[in-house]
Amino acid sequence: MDILEHTYLTSQLFAYIGNKRALLPFLKEQFEYIGREAGFSMNPADPTSRPRFYDPFAGTGSASRLARLMGMDVHANDWEDYSRIFNSAYLMEDAQSVERLFDSAGGLEWVLRELNRYGNRCSADGLDDPESQAYISKYYAPQSTAEADISGERLFYTAENARFIDGVRWKIQNEYPADSRESRLLIALLLYQAGTHANTSGVFKAYHKGFGGHGKDALQRILKPMELPYPRLPQRELLPRDQNIRVSSSDALSISGSSYDMVYLDPPYNQHQYGSNYFMLNSIARWDKPKISTRIGADGKLTEKAGIRKDWVRTRSDFCYRDLAPDAFQQLLDSLDAPDILLSYNSEGIIPFEQLLEIMSEQGRVEMLTRDYTTYRGGRQSSTRKVGNLEFILHLNRRRQMTPGAEHRIQELLLMNRLQRLSAGWFQPEILSGCFPDKQLPLLGCCELPEFFEFSRDDQAQIRTLASSTRNSDNHDNPSFRELKQLVDTLEGAQIQDHASRVKVVSGILQQKHAMMCSGGRPARIQPARILPAQIRRYIKTLLWSLKKLGFRKYAREFDELEKQLREGIQSGRLPDFSRELDEAVDRVRPRMR
């Protein structure tokens, strides 16, 4: 069986920003290539040829799980306590070892059955001793799921699931030695449930107003009763004998003194700190129960809405600060004793790509590896977020020196990936027309300017083909670097960068299309959106999607003005009649704007 199909790699990984589960096939290819280039057989059965793998920003451990199944010795580190406990269970245990752990208690299945039974009783009938047991149910959930007060109570969990967490965590604390292998395994299973059935979009800086959010699309996951699952772990025969696994919990910048054959770096790449994003998991992992404010302000709402524990700053990372991240990255590289280093990063990262390349190329040859990959984003999206970004891997080979040709190749690959992402972008028509008066895009053959705001499917395919062929070939007849950069810079300058602009542009295009349906220039007869031509309906759908992205309190003024303009356009006949669809969109987001 292909190890990528093993449930150990595909299950029991909670939603997590930066989770590399979707990238594992690509990582496996790179790990194998690097290992063989370094002289390792990459055969788990060969104990004399076992690479030493280091994962300083392990998170949920998906990359370290892969390295373990590939037969490497693994050191997984992460500063957050929940990660240490989670990875200790899933990296240091196997299917046979967890059974032996609970032999004296009747076996793991019996232990899980009893814990779930107790948790379900707490969930249905209440905690035995709320004074000593209640914590999540006290601070982070309503007293009643059905009658939740969205202003005065936090809604991270249903009342029932919060009591389940409290009861099960209390029982683990009282029946197993602190930080024992048994307690770490059981807490890890509880963390998986707590990370999966939360009333959030993946991070704990905020919860949905009402269970399931306004779309109610996650309601089944959020309301589903918690139950500790049996752990999905590899059989011992799949793993090398005497495989060395180490799990630590330190600042990646403070660990030094060990040598490795391969290092995989996946540091934070934006301003969002993991300590605050996942404070809830740390609270469950530590079970130290810091007091959380429940004070209600004059407006009748909680003064500290999320109730984030104050000591999250203990693990504040320099990688999340624009002015500190470059020096932190330089310090990290200098501290690593390894010939091969892989870095996962993002084109929207705090450290500019050019600076990353400069820092890494001083220490060896750098190659850029890319593959289509969708990053996980939790929480509220910015109304001005750029369309698309590039997730890439840089491979630093310290056995070789950087050459001008290799650096140029990386810059060319980066440009082609930018072009490929632009093919699916939306543009300001008047800006494009001004830049390309002959209506032809240079370097792209028969590609013409988007008729309105986006490329046709055929043109998108042609651009993707050009990008792919340039990425995968050394053909020097390809478009020159200077011409390519000029084209990409021009397209990026014309790209619609925020949702408000998108609404205005699509509204203008919709007016033009609607006018074309008129006879002799007279206003068209108002038609319900459901019977309009397919292209018009698609524009309406795009417009409403962008409008809903502005449906938050901080953008209320902008939202109201755009809604007013759309209604005036419909009333005057300049726009087709999509009043019903507009009403539905507004009704859906209004509650969260109050």
CATH 3.20.20.70 assigned to 3-81+236-272+318-373+387-397? no
* Mean pLDDT, rounded, for 563-571: 94
User: Distance from CA of residue 191 to its chain's centroid?
Assistant: 18
User: Does pLDDT of 248 surpass 80?
Assistant: yes
User: Does pLDDT of 523 surpass 60?
Assistant: no
Within 13 A of 295's CA, how many CA atoms are on the CB side? 6
SS3 505: helix
| Least confidently predicted of 106-115, 403-412, 559-568 | 403-412
| pLDDT tens-digit readout, 499-512 | 998 899 889 888 88
Categorize the per-residue pLDDT at 373 as very low, low, confident or very high, splitting at 50, 70 and 90. very low
Q: Output b/e per residue, 2-33; b: 16+ Cβ within 10 A.
A: ebeebebbeebbbbbbbbbbebbebbbebbee
> Helices 481-494 & 404-422, crossing angle to 10 degrees?
30
DSSP-derived secondary structure letter, 179: T
* Mean pLDDT, rounded, for 28-52: 89
**Paired tokens of 80:** 């957050």
**In the chain, % of residues over pLDDT 90:** 60
Residue 374: per-residue pLDDT: 44
* Mean pLDDT score of the chain: 87
| pLDDT tens-digit readout, 340-363 | 999 998 877 899 888 998 999 999
Residue 230: per-residue pLDDT: 98
Categorize the per-residue pLDDT at 521 as very low, low, confident or very high, splitting at 50, 70 and 90. very low
Question: Which residue, among 193, 257, 266, 275, has the nearest Cα to 227 in the 3D structure?
Answer: 193
Categorize the per-residue pLDDT at 25 as very low, low, confident or very high, splitting at 50, 70 and 90. very high
Question: Which residue, among 134, 195, 201, has the nearest Cα to 170 in the 3D structure?
Answer: 134
SS3 342: strand
Residue 380: per-residue pLDDT: 46
User: Does pLDDT of 163 surpass 50?
Assistant: yes
Residue 29: per-residue pLDDT: 93
Nearest 5°: the CA angle 465, 469, 470 is 115
DSSP-derived secondary structure letter, 375: P
| pLDDT tens-digit readout, 75-121 | 999 999 999 999 999 999 999 999 999 999 999 999 999 999 999 99
Categorize the per-residue pLDDT at 531 as very low, low, confident or very high, splitting at 50, 70 and 90. low
